[in-house]
Amino acid sequence: MSEGLEEPFEVIEKTEVEKQQEQEEQSESCKSEKAETAVEDEWIDILGSGQLKKKVLKAGNPGTRPQRGDMCYMNIEGKLEDGTVVEKLENFEIQVGDAELVQGLDLAVPLMDVGETALVEVHPRFGYGSLGKEPDVPGGAVLFYTLVLQRAEEEPEFEELSAQRRIEIGNRKRERGNWWFSRNEHTLAVQCYRRALDFLDGDGGITAGVEPRDSNEELNAIFADRLKVYNNLAASQMKLQAFDSALTSVENVLRCQPNNIKALFRKGKILAEKGDYEKSVEVLKQANKIEPDNKPIQQELAKVVAKSKQELTKQKNLYRKMLGQDDKKSSKEENTPQVSKYSWKLVAGSAAAVAAGLQRRSLVVFEPCFSRERRDYHQVLLTSINTCYRA
C-alpha cells in the first residue's frame, strides 16, 4: 500500500513542476517580446556618456553578432543633424575591431545582429572630432548613421588567401593607417599597420637577404607593400617615442633594401634620439651619399653633428670635474690675490728683519758679552733674509 501511495504522489509532483516551468517560459517569452519591442523604440546608451547611442530600426537574427576580426559587409549612410548626407557606402567590407571606421561605428557594429538595421548617433569624440572630414563633415559635428549588417564571416586563415586578396586587404589597412597618421592618431595608425602586416607578412617576418626578384609579380608586390608598411609603422612609432620598436621596424626594411633612403633617414633620427650620435652621423652620411641633394637629410646631419659636439664638450667637462682639475684651477684663481698680500707682508717683514740685523751687528760690536746661542739665532735670521732677497 505504501508503494501505491508513493507512485501517484511522484506523478503529481512532476506535473506541478512541468506546469511551473511552462508558466515561467511563457512569462519570459512575453517579457522578451516586450523587450524587443521596447528596444526597437528606444535608444541604447552604449558607453553611458550619451556620446554614442544606438537604436534598432529592424531586428536581425538573434545570436549572430560578429566577433572581433570577423569580416562584415555593410550598407552605411551618414548624415549631419540637418539631414545632409555626408557618407554613403554599399556592401562595404570591414573587419571588426580594426579601426577601419570611425571609433563610434567600430564599437557599435559588434552590438548588431546579422540582418539588423540600426541608427547610431555619434558625437565628435567618437566621430571625426574637432578636425572634421573635408570637405563634407565640419569639425565638432554630431553624425547619425544608418547601418545595415548584411552578413558576417569568420576571419579567414592567411594561408587560404590568394596573393591578390592579401594585397587587397593589407593595402586597405595600410591606407587606413595613413589616414589615422594624418590626423595625429598614431596609436590607431600603429594598430592598422600591424594588421596590414598580418596579411602582407603572413610568414611571420621578412626573411633576411636580397629582394626575391625571381618570384612572380604578386609575391614581389606583397614584398614591396610590406616594406612600405614597416617604414610607415616606424614613423608612427617615432611619434609615440617608441624608439626601440621603431628601430626594429626600419631594420626590417634595411635587411632587404640596405639603401632604402626613407629607412636610413629614419634610422639616423632614431639613433640620435637614443643618444647614439656617432652611429647616427654614420647612417645619415650613408643616406646623404645616396641622395646628396636631399635637403632634409643634410639638415638632420648638420643638427646631429652639432649635438655630437655639444655632447663631447659636456663629457670633457664632466671628466675634468671627476678628476678634480676644475677645483685646482678655481683654487689657484682664488689664491692669486692672497699670494699678492703675502708677498707684501714678506717684504715688510724682511725690512724689519734687516733693521733688526743692523741693530744686532751693533750689539755684537758693543756688547761682546752676548751668549753664543743668541748670536746663532740672529745668524739664522740673517740667512733667511738673504734667501728671500735672492728669490
pLDDT in tens, the chain (391 residues): 444 433 333 333 444 545 555 565 555 444 444 444 435 568 999 999 999 999 999 999 999 999 999 999 999 999 999 999 999 999 999 999 999 999 999 999 999 999 999 999 999 999 999 999 999 999 999 999 999 999 999 998 888 888 889 999 999 999 999 999 999 999 999 999 999 999 997 554 444 333 444 357 888 889 999 999 999 999 999 999 999 999 999 999 999 999 999 999 999 999 999 999 999 999 999 999 999 999 999 999 999 999 988 888 887 887 777 887 655 555 555 555 554 444 545 545 555 555 555 454 443 433 444 445 555 555 655 555 455 445 4
3-state secondary structure of 96: coil
Contact by Cβ (8 Å): 92, 147: no
- State residue 31's pLDDT score: 44
3-state secondary structure of 73: strand
- State residue 51's pLDDT score: 96
- State residue 294's pLDDT score: 94
Is residue 152 within a helix (H) or strand (E), and if so which, with residue range?
strand 143-153
Amino acid letter at 55? K
Burial class (CB in 10 A: 0-12, 13-18, 19+), 340: exposed
Contact by Cβ (8 Å): 253, 230: yes
CA distance 91 to 72: 9
- State residue 329's pLDDT score: 55
Contact by Cβ (8 Å): 146, 57: yes
Contact by Cβ (8 Å): 51, 123: yes
- State residue 366's pLDDT score: 37
- Cβ neighbours, 10 Å, residue 54: 23
- The alpha-carbon radius of gyration of the chain (Å, integer) is 44
Is residue 227 within a helix (H) or strand (E), and if so which, with residue range?
helix 217-239
- State residue 336's pLDDT score: 54
CA distance 99 to 94: 9
How far is CA 223 from each of CA 166, 174, 366, rounded to the nearest angstrom?
11, 14, 116
CA distance 76 to 148: 7
Q: Which candidate, 209, 176, 208, 210, places its Cα nearest to that of 194?
A: 176
- Torsion, Cα 96 100 105 110, to 10 degrees, reads 0
Find all residues with CB under 8 Å of 297, minimum gap 6, and list them: 261, 265, 268, 284, 287, 288, 291
- State residue 272's pLDDT score: 96
